[in-house]
Structure 1
Amino acid sequence: MGADLRRLADDPGFPHRDAARHAVRFRTAGDVADLVALHDDPHPCGMTEVMFAMAGSQRPWLNWVPMPSEAICNLANEVGSRRAQGERLELTGLGLSAAEPASAMTAFRRVAGPVDIGIAEFPAPDIRMTVRPGRYAVWRYDGTEPLPAAPPPSAAAVQVLHEVAGEPWPSPLSGYLQAEPLGGLPLDDLLGLLAHLPEPPDTPRWQHLAKSTPTYWYRLMQPWVCLGILHHAKDEPWPTSTRRSVLVDLAFGVEDWVADAALFALVTSAYREPHLREEVRGMVRARLDAAVAANRLVTIEESLAQLMIVTPGCRADDRAVATAALARAAQNDEEEPAPPQKRRRWRRRG
């Protein structure tokens, strides 16, 4: 991708050389200001959208959703992989040293079956508590057990999801357009898709991933649904719209994959609508700050940091907070085990 963009930037006959130069700089240095400048080309056309996708290729959120990092998803992937290879593996119960996101717990059970999961503790800040109060929610808790806060989606909604969301998006811009059919669904269906996590489509891609990372479908589908929410009741003025209220409430709801999925949709809206950029930047930073401030492991902290650095209007201080969070995650992954309050474990029960 980089070589192709450099050829365009160096071609005196190419009419969008400035945009191509911004794309090259973004791929080299990762400054989102270059990506925004590319998007805001004074003479936009299909080619500038292609260059936007090329600039963000293979980057978290711009081209793909971060992989699940939870201990329970690692276990689910192992169980799913071994079963796909023909091993008869059964789990009846397991214990987690600390609570993990409701979506991760649900994805685990979609892969492993109805396993009894014990939670040793809910360290502060309690994962069950919202960051801010709101009207719309995907999850509620019955003691330690996460439960959907929305009714199951219709079969028609699941079919639309399978038709729209079977692959990652080339870029958020094209993803937004592709998600439009989801926006025609009732809001209850959209919230139901987020909470009930339907099975993946029966396609070669997901048949292959079932052998290695079967939880990834559940991580990928939620941002697709949130892009669909951006299309919900589009005639409503943004400041008082249902789509804005839903996405903001989910972004600042309980600590979950749904939170960064909703923020991703808001970031996509910020690329499309420049007047939203400062508001959205502030929301992404506030959610990242809440994760960073927690004196425990927050499994979505790394993905929030990755989203922060591709948010239009990202400032130097925003980037510094995000970069520090990514550095901590890399150190924990590659060098030393996390300190006790940041460690997450599981053990077999029964």
Structure 2
Amino acid sequence: MLSANVDEKLRELAGDPKFPHRDAARHALRFRESGDVADLVAIADDPHGCETTDMLFAMAGQKQPWLNWVPMPQESVINILRGIARDRAAGKNVTVAELGISGPEPPSAIAAFLRVAGPAPVGIANFGTPDPRVPLRPGRYAVWRYQGETAQPAVEPPSAEAVRVLYAVGAEPWPSPLAGYARAAPLGDLPLNDLLGLLVHPPRPPDVQRYRILADSDPAYWYRLLQPWVCLGILHHRTDEPWASSVRRQVLIDLAFGVEDWACDAALFALVTAAYREPALRDEVRVLVRDRLVAATKAPRPVTIWTSLAQLMLITPGLLDGERSLATTVLERNADDDDEPEPEQVPARPEPVQENGASSARERRWPRWLWGRR
């Protein structure tokens, strides 16, 4: 288990002349102090890698988004859902007749809202440009397709066995991407259709204490967490195929540049995980993450996964100075929000709902400079 005081433990290990992985411990400590991804890469590339270095990698990324847990959803529909969940937990009978939002939000977020709040029409005032309903790049694999304003699953529901495996693998966050990859191996034994089906036909949260607690504060978090788990499973799909021509690579790239959705950054997270494991993939993965972040930055409308993409960029192996600067700027310009909580520490912040059902959360979440971004 990780020490409650990770920094203190790392300093102890780094200074212990008898500890065989002092260099890795020093890199872990430096990453926690500076955030330089080169230190994480040095741990992953340790020539004497073992379970101990994997633990040091996990210690370096403890309580860091994507390295230890999936960023909390930031969509207005999820903010509204949090308020509904708190009201219901307080004994109020809350129902939703209809909902209107000012701009597009990921279909997975809207699906999570409807799954918890109940069926209701959701109206979107303006999709803006570039149209999030259109993939950024043409691809073979897709999990959402739009009919007008409404996103529809492009794949069939998963089997009962797929749901069972997901519950067994993904009920909790990962200690690190490396540990998550290892734990996701059973998902790779499922048919690809099952894996894609899990992304858009998610089962209800597993009946464990974590999600019983979150049901009263952040009931959508399971739906956000499961997609990166499934994408880690896709990394295990047909691993006998050479990477460059593999189905697993093509699926993840198509998802990353497909319809704007939680599946985009989930797929990129899996690719970043692959880059830590296989140095030969690093240049390609870095460019993919950068290109998706740049596309979100250039969009003259809010992109709700923008911050998450920036967080991913900062932990991508081989990160260049310009890419670090871009990602850091994104995060700094969103710093007017409160520090993002971990799932177990979601504060009770009611979100106002206008008479037409539209939340003002989007306007407060996205600073004014973003609305005019070109």
| TM-score normalised per structure 1 | 0.95
**Secondary structure at 1:122 match in 2:** coil
Which residue of 2 is the match for residue 239 of structure 1?
A: 244
Mapped to 2, the partners of 1:181 and 1:84 lie a distance apart of 35
Structure 1 residues 218-229: aligned runs within 5 Å = 218-229=223-234
- Unpaired runs of 5+ residues, structure 2, are 1-5, 340-363
Mapped to 2, the partners of 1:230 and 1:217 lie a distance apart of 21
**Secondary structure at 2:86 match in 1:** helix
| Cα offset, 1:336, TM superposition | 9.1
Which residue of 2 is the match for residue 306 of structure 1?
A: 311
| Cα offset, 1:338, TM superposition | 2.5
Residues 96 and 120 of structure 1 are in contact (CA less than 8 Å); yes or no, is this contact kept in structure 2? yes
Which of 63, 82, 85 matches 2:87? 82
Q: Output one character per residue of 1:179-227: Cα deviation in whole Å (capped at 9) or x when no partner.
A: 0111111111100000112211011110001010001100000000000
Structure 1 residues 240, 218: closer, same or farther in 2, change over 3 A?
A: same
Give the residue type in structure 2 aligned to 1:117: V
Residues 1:286 and 2:291 are matched in the alignment: yes
Give the residue type in structure 2 aligned to 1:84: A
Q: List, as ranges, runs of 4+ consecutive aligned residues in structure 1 with deviation greater than 4 Å.
A: 332-337
| Cα offset, 1:331, TM superposition | 3.0
**Secondary structure at 2:336 match in 1:** helix
Residues 1:119 and 2:124 are matched in the alignment: yes
Mapped to 1, the partners of 2:133 and 2:330 lie a distance apart of 23
Which of 199, 224, 227 matches 2:204? 199
Q: Output one character per residue of 1:257-282: Cα deviation in whole Å (capped at 9) or x when no partner.
A: 10000000000000000000010000
Mapped to 1, the partners of 2:117 and 2:369 lie a distance apart of 28
Mapped to 2, the partners of 1:299 and 1:198 lie a distance apart of 23
Residues 1:93 and 2:98 are matched in the alignment: yes
Mapped to 2, the partners of 1:6 and 1:190 lie a distance apart of 41
Using the TM superposition, name which of 21-30 and 325-334 deviates more.
Answer: 325-334
Residues 151 and 192 of structure 1 are in contact (CA less than 8 Å); yes or no, is this contact kept in structure 2? yes
- Unpaired runs of 5+ residues, structure 1, are 344-350
Residues 1:217 and 2:222 are matched in the alignment: yes
| Cα offset, 1:329, TM superposition | 1.4
| Cα offset, 1:125, TM superposition | 1.0
Mapped to 1, the partners of 2:21 and 2:366 lie a distance apart of 48
Residues 302 and 366 of structure 2 are in contact (CA less than 8 Å); yes or no, is this contact kept in structure 1? no
| Cα offset, 1:42, TM superposition | 1.4
Residues 150 and 188 of structure 1 are in contact (CA less than 8 Å); yes or no, is this contact kept in structure 2? yes
Give the residue type in structure 1 aligned to 2:130: P
**Secondary structure at 1:331 match in 2:** coil
Mapped to 1, the partners of 2:19 and 2:370 lie a distance apart of 54
Give the residue type in structure 1 aligned to 2:334: A
Which residue of 2 is the match for residue 161 of structure 1?
A: 166
Which residue of 1 is the match for residue 271 of structure 2?
A: 266
Q: Output one character per residue of 1:21-58: Cα deviation in whole Å (capped at 9) or x when no partner.
A: 10010000000000100111111111111100000000
Which residue of 2 is the match for residue 30 of structure 1?
A: 35
The percentage of counterpart residues that share the same residue type is 60
Which residue of 2 is the match for residue 72 of structure 1?
A: 77
Residues 71 and 308 of structure 2 are in contact (CA less than 8 Å); yes or no, is this contact kept in structure 1? yes
Residues 1:53 and 2:58 are matched in the alignment: yes
| Cα offset, 1:254, TM superposition | 1.2
Mapped to 2, the partners of 1:166 and 1:94 lie a distance apart of 30
Which residue of 2 is the match for residue 131 of structure 1?
A: 136
**Secondary structure at 1:141 match in 2:** strand
Residues 334 and 367 of structure 2 are in contact (CA less than 8 Å); yes or no, is this contact kept in structure 1? no
Mapped to 1, the partners of 2:330 and 2:260 lie a distance apart of 17
Residues 1:148 and 2:134 are matched in the alignment: no
**Total equivalences in the alignment:** 343
| TM-score normalised per structure 2 | 0.89
Structure 1 residues 277, 336: closer, same or farther in 2, change over 3 A?
A: closer
Mapped to 2, the partners of 1:94 and 1:342 lie a distance apart of 22
**Secondary structure at 1:41 match in 2:** coil
| Cα offset, 1:130, TM superposition | 0.8
Mapped to 2, the partners of 1:95 and 1:337 lie a distance apart of 18
Give the residue type in structure 2 aligned to 1:342: W
Mapped to 2, the partners of 1:55 and 1:341 lie a distance apart of 32
Mapped to 2, the partners of 1:288 and 1:153 lie a distance apart of 30
Residues 286 and 317 of structure 2 are in contact (CA less than 8 Å); yes or no, is this contact kept in structure 1? yes
Using the TM superposition, name which of 265-274 and 73-82 deviates more.
Answer: 73-82
| Cα offset, 1:330, TM superposition | 1.3
| Cα offset, 1:84, TM superposition | 2.8
Residues 1:318 and 2:323 are matched in the alignment: yes
